[in-house]
Structure 1
Amino acid sequence: MTQSDRQAEPAIHVVGAGPAGLTAAERLAQAGLKVVVHEQRPSPARKLLMAGRGGLNLTHSEPMERFLGRYGPAAETARAWIADFGPDDLIAWVEGLGQPTFVGSSGRVFPRAMKASPLLRAWLARLEGLGVEIRTRSRWIGWSGADLVFETPDGERRERPDAVVLALGGASWPRLGSDGDWKPWLEAEGVTVAPFRPANVGFDVDWSVAFRARFAGRPLKPVSVRLKDRTVPGEVMLTRYGLEGGAIYALSAALREAIEADGQVDIHLDLKPGLTVEQLTERLARPRFKASLATHLRKTVKLDPSAVALLRETGSLPADPLSLAQRIKAASVRLTGFQGLDRAISTAGGVALEAVDARSMLIARPGVFVAGEMLDWEAPTGGYLLQASFASGVAAARGLLDWLGSKG
């Protein structure tokens, strides 16, 4: 290929250097396109690195229909993305970067390093080898006609690429770069953007001062959380404001909607999911002698002090073994609110799925493609968030290449 041929190649700009944006950049560069990535923060993929602090749950190994059900109303959109880049593809891609993976006992998939930094270093090296240019401290501030306008340390800069991928994230953890400031710029173009709402977030409980002071920061595990006819096993963390953790996040969309409708919602915690009511009753019926109730609960059913305190916090403890066993299996906790976007792991809301075509291109702005959390979908933690973010980047790149090809 001659230098003039290279200069004639379409120039693609990707705005946002998170998983979706970098995935799109990689696919486009592998197709031979000149790719520039803009990142407003001083370094790329800061939210990915934050996710790595919890082990970097990449995806999940559960059956596909159950997997897709985690995306709620956006399940069919997720189906299309994941059909092209599913869990096996993501695992192969990670291992292709020299990062072995493993499947945990819960079915979740992690890199063996249990952090994001080795993966990100290998990924950035690959992108550099593909000729991808990453411009940090380059903040997109909207359009001026056909030009993209960026705010940089050297002043305002304008670009007119042949096509664009927007992957700016939602509005959670704004200090990491996903601040949602792009919303009015797209709305000015006629793009429908659903309001941002916190997802995978903690919920408020009116704890007593004494309970909050002593038990905030303590985990409850293993537990199951029940909301009406849905039960989710996992871990719950007691916090100063209420409850958070994987089992809560899995229900966060339904919990948020219930609180928005009614101002509160009751959940039930099974504090001993491995034992039946009958088994608990039999053990609790053993003689206490002079032991305190807390000691009796610890010795007979291995209930830790945090769980005992929660039972007391949510009502007086019954004296008879059967009633006490029933309370342990269904401790009622009332949630009265939820934390804001600045404390949410992810967001609901964003660019309406109806505002993009089957190629992930904005209907109102041809040549502009959208990927990642900018779009209006949500999923619980457990690998579903990252899987869809990567897969949506693949989908946007595929759509862009198709669009360029259709232009001749």
Structure 2
Amino acid sequence: MSETASRIAIIGAGPAALIAADRLSRDGHGVDIYEQMPSPARKFLMAGRGGLNLTHSEPKEAFLARYREARPNLAPAIEAFDADALRAFCGELGEDTFVGTSGRVFPMSLKASPLLRALLRRLQENGARLFTRHRWIGFSEDGGLAFATPDGKKTTGNPLASLFALGGASWARLGSDASWSGPFRALGIDIAPFRPANSGFLASWSPVFAGRFAGTPLKRIAITFGGQRIMGEAMITANGLEGGAIYALSAELRDAIGDRRSADLSIDLRPDVSEAELAKRLAAPRGRQTASTFLRKKAGLAPVAIGLLREAGPLPQDAGILARRIKAMLVTLTGTAPIDRAISSAGGIRFNEIDEDFMLLRRPGVFVAGEMLDWEAPTGGYLLQACFATGIAAARGIEKWIARA
């Protein structure tokens, strides 16, 4: 019997993979981790540049609702390894967490690298082995794993069990390129088409507006679409919009554009002031002030907001009509930004292809976790929480599988 036959193979080295490896190695199992990139968890480290939003502190029902159609499939895993469990896990690794004013949970260091280093150190102490520059290309004839490496092709023996956690289809340069979908489809696995999630959207800005304001944030706004109103911020890009408030509605906007080829977004540029109050302020004499100065002083608008108002045409002279535009500035979105630039992706292995332990029904002993599965969630900690939770759930499933074998 080859050495591989007594060890568990984990393909991928992101959050779902590493927490599963930690659980299994701490329980005494031999674990081998295979990662195609030169170093592990590159997308996780990228997420840490913005402060590493690990999870969220909101009540369970509101939390689970963030997963939309995938809620019934993800809820058992998230309830078994919830936000408190994830915070405890981080604490065990020496990284305490705190709840921010928005309810989001962050490590005290506000970085991903200390948490990753501590986790990798514990994995090494528990005997887990990490093999980098190993790109999985399929199963070998005997059921083992085939990898492309810098030295050519390498195959392993048939492992005790395998866990695939190779991510979705966004940020290919960080390793999440969905190249695994080909070999899985060859097995007959049903994979939902990949679509951008938490992505930017395209809008037809004038050259003047795009040239002046690309990269400028729209702060303290409210965005309304499909009956939902989101407070937050957005960023003007050279060809559209992105940012937290946009990401919160990205699934609905993406689907609307898919159905109708466009989506009309309403932006309230002063959500803290009523339309009537704005109209009253704007009815004051302008005198010799320029329109921009007048709007800045009377309506409290930043230059980017004034520029956006002008994108809809000349500024109305009537104070009431101008106030209405400020409170409901319509922006027509005509497409989504490329999936490779999206924070995450929708699509992946459909849940009817796995059992309650995250094992493939068509391939016993092979488990999947994380963004390989067909689910999506907004930013705010929900993405990482589900990745960690499904990694733990798959690890438990592997232990059950081994116990039955």
Per the shorter chain, which TM-score range? over 0.9
Q: TM-score, normalised by structure 2?
A: 0.96
Distance 1:276 1:193 in 2: 47
Hey, what does 2:360 align to over in structure 1? 362
Counterpart of 2:28 (choices 27, 32, 35) is 32
Hey, what does 1:64 align to over in structure 2? 60
Distance 1:151 1:135 in 2: 12
CA positional deviation for 1:9: 8.8
Hey, what does 1:156 align to over in structure 2? 153
Deviations 1:110-166 (CA, angstroms, capped at 9, x unpaired): 112222111111111111111110100011110122111111223322122010000
Deviations 1:190-215 (CA, angstroms, capped at 9, x unpaired): 11111111111110000001111000
Return 326-335 or 274-283, whichever deviates more.
Answer: 274-283
Hey, what does 1:54 align to over in structure 2? 50
Hey, what does 1:117 align to over in structure 2? 113
Distance 1:259 1:229 in 2: 16
Counterpart of 1:324 (choices 322, 325, 335) is 322
Written as runs of structure 1 = structure 2, the 5 A alignment for 1:128-147 is: 128-145=124-141, 146-147=143-144
Deviations 1:224-251 (CA, angstroms, capped at 9, x unpaired): 1110201111110000010000111111
Return 134-143 or 110-119, whichever deviates more.
Answer: 110-119
Say whether 1:94 aligns with 2:90. yes
CA positional deviation for 1:8: 11
**1:167 and 1:373 in contact (8 A); partners too:** yes
Amino acid in structure 1 at the alignment position of 2:80: D
Distance 1:331 1:225 in 2: 9
Distance 2:317 2:103 in 1: 39
Q: For the aligned residues, what is the CA RMSD?
A: 1.5
**1:9 and 1:34 in contact (8 A); partners too:** no
Say whether 1:177 aligns with 2:147. no
Distance 2:78 2:122 in 1: 23
Written as runs of structure 1 = structure 2, the 5 A alignment for 1:197-346 is: 197-346=195-344
Say whether 1:45 aligns with 2:41. yes
Aligned length: 402
Runs of 4+ more than 6 Å apart: none
Structure 1, gaps ≥5 residues long: 1-6
Say whether 1:84 aligns with 2:77. no
Distance 2:74 2:110 in 1: 26
Distance 2:304 2:130 in 1: 48
| Closer, same or farther: CA 275–158 of 1 in aligned 2, 3 Å | same
CA positional deviation for 1:285: 2.7
Distance 1:143 1:9 in 2: 15
Where 2:148 maps in the other structure, the secondary structure is strand
Counterpart of 2:370 (choices 366, 369, 372) is 372
Distance 2:330 2:199 in 1: 20
Return 154-163 or 247-256, whichever deviates more.
Answer: 154-163
**2:226 and 2:252 in contact (8 A); partners too:** no
Q: TM-score, normalised by structure 1?
A: 0.96
Where 1:336 maps in the other structure, the secondary structure is strand
Distance 2:352 2:273 in 1: 47
Amino acid in structure 2 at the alignment position of 1:76: P
Distance 2:403 2:222 in 1: 51
**2:5 and 2:159 in contact (8 A); partners too:** no
